[in-house]
């Protein structure tokens, strides 16, 4: 059977680093609170001239180079993002042009922090059906551009980043299975109220700060632990595997305490999870591909190893993929 294989990865973050101590000068917070409550120490923040496609581009070029293919070889470009260059058109189209990927179709996919896992399931379906052979899947977000920098509840949590992967058919390894879920009844626990057709942009909406990201962190927290654990159990069961078969869990990096709770409920020690939240904070759709990239770079995964990719985010959305390298 042909499976979707992640043949290469790449990543990019903006140069500018904002530490917890820098944040202490902006809002009423402390390095100790942020570290203890989230595990974050610093995050990368883009400047006013950098948009999502500008980060996606170097990450994609790195992944293409590592895969040994040119942009011309690409059949499809999928970009998971909720903070693209524009409301429309798709950032994937902007990226297609910048790369010069003249034969690729391109579209964006909106599943917030679970965007990469949702995208992986789409790439998986295209590859398994034989429709496409060279797919570029990118997770990119710049939520620092849509947070309220006077709101300590949200502005300390996010960073900007992009993770890119090239996905091709292989007969050994690859994505064994993916499970996905959603619950739109909780959509307003994490959302950007203004800018769509519900609340179009207006002076009044902006005066009421409706253009900023809103999050009810405490409520989201409960869902996150439950659904990430459930997704892991479900995908393992579908593949006839147990958590003991998994070399490394690559989770969404929203909060270290969430990851401790997930590890505890899965019955694994923390060293079985790849965690880089300290350096990048929550980069939304980019956390999983960035973590995967760093895990591979650090030699944490070898041929034949199973990795469990798992995420949770706005929508609400969640999902897990079991991937063999």
Q: Which positions are annotated as active-site residues? A: 113, 252, 282
How far is the C-alpha of 255 from the C-alpha of 265, rounded, in Å?
16
How far is the C-alpha of 59 from the C-alpha of 225, rounded, in Å?
29
| Residue 43 DSSP SS3 | strand
217 makes contact with ligand UT7 (CB under 6 A): yes
Using alpha carbons, select from 115, 114, 134 the residue that is nearest to residue 7. 134
Residue choice 17, 22, 33, 73 for contact with ligand UT7 (CB under 6 A): 33
Binding region for ligand UT7 (CB under 6 A) out of 94-102, 127-135, 165-173, 252-260: 252-260
What 8-state DSSP symbol labels residue 188?
A: G
282 makes contact with ligand UT7 (CB under 6 A): yes
Using alpha carbons, select from 232, 228, 273 the residue that is nearest to residue 250. 273
Residue choice 16, 37, 210, 226 for contact with ligand UT7 (CB under 6 A): 37
How far is the C-alpha of 56 from the C-alpha of 79, rounded, in Å?
9
107 makes contact with ligand UT7 (CB under 6 A): no
Cβ atoms 148, 213 nearer than 8 A? yes
Binding region for ligand UT7 (CB under 6 A) out of 163-171, 191-199, 212-220, 229-237: 212-220
Residue choice 218, 240, 271, 302 for contact with ligand UT7 (CB under 6 A): 218
Cβ atoms 168, 5 nearer than 8 A? yes
Cβ atoms 134, 73 nearer than 8 A? yes
Q: How many residues bind ligand UT7 (CB under 6 A)?
A: 21
- Here's the x/- map for ligand UT7, 154-173, by CB under 6 A: it reads as --xx----------------
CB of 129 to ligand UT7, least distance (A): 31
134 vs 317, beta carbon nearer ligand UT7 = 317
Cβ atoms 116, 80 nearer than 8 A? yes
Nearest residue relative to ligand UT7 (C-beta):
217
221 makes contact with ligand UT7 (CB under 6 A): yes
Tokens of 167: 């996905």
Question: Which residues would be at the binding site for ligand UT7 (CB under 6 A)?
Answer: 29, 33-34, 37-38, 113, 152-153, 156-157, 217-218, 220-221, 224, 254-255, 258, 282, 312-313
């Amino acid at each position: 059977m042909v499976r979707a294989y992640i043949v290469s990865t790449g990543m990019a973050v903006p140069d500018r680093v904002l530490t917890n101590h820098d944040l202490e000068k902006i809002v009423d917070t402390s390095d100790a609170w942020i570290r203890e409550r989230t595990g974050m120490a610093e995050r990368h923040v883009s400047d006013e001239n950098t948009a999502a496609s500008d980060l996606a581009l170097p990450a994609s070029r790195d992944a293409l180079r590592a895969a040994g293919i040119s942009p011309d070889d690409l059949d499809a470009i999928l970009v998971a993002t909720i903070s693209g260059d524009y409301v429309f058109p798709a950032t994937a189209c902007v990226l297609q042009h910048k790369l010069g990927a003249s034969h690729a179709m391109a579209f964006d996919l909106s599943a917030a922090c679970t965007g990469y896992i949702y995208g992986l399931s789409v790439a998986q379906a295209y590859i398994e059906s034989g429709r496409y052979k060279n797919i570029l899947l990118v997770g990119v977000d710049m939520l620092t551009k849509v947070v309220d920098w006077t709101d300590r509840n949200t502005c300390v949590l996010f960073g900007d980043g992009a993770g890119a992967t090239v996905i091709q058919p292989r007969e050994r390894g690859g994505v064994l299975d993916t499970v996905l879920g959603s619950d739109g009844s909780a959509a307003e626990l994490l959302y950007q109220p203004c800018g769509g057709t519900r609340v179009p942009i207006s002076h009044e909406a902006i005066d009421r700060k409706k253009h900023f990201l809103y999050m009810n962190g405490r409520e989201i927290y409960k869902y996150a632990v439950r659904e990430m654990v459930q997704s892991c159990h479900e995908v393992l069961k579908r593949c006839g595997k147990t958590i003991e078969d998994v070399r490394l869990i690559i989770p969404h990096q929203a909060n270290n305490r969430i990851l401790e709770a997930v590890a505890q409920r899965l019955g694994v020690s923390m060293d079985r999870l790849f965690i880089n939240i300290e350096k990048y904070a929550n980069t939304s759709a980019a956390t999983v591909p960035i973590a995967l990239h760093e895990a591979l770079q650090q030699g944490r995964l070898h041929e034949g190893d199973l990795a469990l990719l798992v995420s949770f985010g706005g929508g609400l959305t969640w999902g897990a993929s079991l991937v063999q390298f």
